[in-house]
Amino acid sequence: MRRIRCAGPGGPLLVEDAPAPEPGPGELLVRTEAVGVTLPVVRKVREAAEPIPLGGEVAGEVAAVGEGVTAHRVGDRVVGLCFGHGYADLALLHTAMASPVPAGADSVDAVALVRSGLVALGALDAARPRPGESALVTAAASGVGHLAVQLARAHGASRVVAAVSDPAKAPFLRGLGADEVVAYADESWGGPADYALDAVGGELLAPALAALAPGGRLVAYSSGGGTVRAYDLLVGAKSVTGFQIARTAREQPERYARWREELWRLFFEGSLRPAVHGRFALEEAARAHEAIESRSNLGKVVLIP
């Protein structure tokens, strides 16, 4: 089979031939039809001190099952998070991270919707939204962010402000329901919001916090770090909550499953439209990473093995 190898810190990303992996206990071998490219993996490639496997969201057909697997059979179509080599023709998924792809949806729909949507919906849930409140979403045109914009509206937001690196992304986001689109460099981020979903972190944490109304809630779900001053929380009675999807999947599987069911329901109702920025061949993985590094993507970046 073919897979992508990260040759060293920062790349390059090379295609190599490798033996097909064998599923172990509790694992599925999936013939991949779509692979979702994520910012955390792009960052790992950039920062890795040594070659690393490129994991990610994968969707496709089950080609083999490991010992003890009863929930899935050969021929089933599944989507899930691969922690090993995901940029490949064949990938291993643990059954705990795999879920069925419903009839009527394809594998690209699945990788664009499920994991990114779970992060967006989980972050939204952590913000405790109430109908009629206003929302701020950073990295709003990203794979997660463009779903968060739509989910905030679906959960009753009266006003959704989308914050982005490039104001040229405004037509895309307005088409998804954003009321206002602001650039990070703008002096004002569209007035006070009741809650903010921040996927960027770093130096954008402070302006995101400043854009909140008194009593506002900021949910940080970025791997980009950042610091806020306790005084800035105190003076406006604001709060910051960290959200990590892996913890919910591990500790609250029933809640995780409910979120997944809600995503598919909204998808089939037409209320949630995952956008795909580009469909790259496996050997174009470096170009796919560049689309995310340059912040040029509008929606999900997907590899098609």
Cα 68-96-89 angle, rounded to 5 deg = 85
- Those residues with Cβ within 8 angstroms of residue 48's Cβ, 6 or more apart along the chain or in another chain: 6, 8, 9, 10
More confident residue, 106 or 187: 106
pLDDT at 132: 97
Residue 114 has pLDDT above 80, yes or no: yes
In CATH, the number for domain 2-105+278-299 is 3.90.180.10
Neighbouring-strand partners of residue 5: 14
pLDDT tens digits, residue range 187-205? 888 889 999 999 998 999 9
Q: Please, are residues 28 and 78 in contact by the beta-carbon 8 Å criterion?
A: yes
Alpha carbon separation from 252 to 122, 201, 233, 257, 299 (Å, rounded): 12, 26, 29, 9, 28
Burial 167-190 (b: 16+ CB within 10 A, else e): eebbebbeebbbbbbbebeeeebb
Mean pLDDT along residues 179-183:
96
Residue-wise pLDDT for 132-160, tens only, equals 999 999 999 999 999 999 999 999 999 99
113: Cβ contacts below 8 Å, ≥ 6 apart: 105, 147, 263, 264, 267, 272, 274
Average of per-residue pLDDT values in the chain: 93
Structure tokens, 140: 């709003």
Does position 12 have pLDDT exceeding 90, yes or no?
Answer: no
C-alpha to C-alpha distance for 107 and 135, rounded to whole angstroms: 30
> What is the pLDDT at residue 274?
96
Q: Report the distance separating Cα 277 and Cα 299, nearest Å.
A: 5
**CATH 3.40.50.720 placement within the chain:** 117-245
Q: Which CATH class is domain 117-245?
A: alpha beta
- Residue 211, judged by CB atoms within 10 A of its CB (0-12, 13-18, 19+), counts as buried
At residue 32, what are phi and psi to the nearest 5 degrees? -75, 135
Rounded to whole angstroms, the Cα distance separating 244 from 190 reads: 27
Alpha helices by DSSP H, listed for the chain, are 39-47, 107-126, 145-154, 170-174, 205-210, 230-236, 245-251, 253-269, 285-293
The CATH 3.90.180.10 portion of the chain extends over 2-105+278-299
* pLDDT confidence band for 52 (50 / 70 / 90): confident
CB 119 within 8 A of CB 248: no
pLDDT in tens, 219-276: 999 877 888 889 989 999 999 999 998 888 889 989 999 999 999 999 999 999 999 9
> Is pLDDT at 122 greater than 80 in this prediction?
yes
What gap in Å lies between CA 79 and CA 101, rounded to an integer?
6
**pLDDT above 80 for 35:** yes
Classify the C-alpha dihedral 91-259-164-195 as positive or negative: negative
Tally of CB atoms within 10 A around 265: 11
Q: What is the mean pLDDT of residues 53-63?
A: 94
Contact 108, 302 (CB under 8 A): yes
Predicted TM-score (pTM) above 0.85: yes
Check residue 226 and give its pLDDT.
85
The predicted pLDDT at position 27 comes to 97
Q: Examine the pLDDT at 296 and tell me if it is beyond 80.
A: yes
The pLDDT, as a whole number, for residue 190 is 81
pLDDT above 70 coverage of the chain, percent: 100
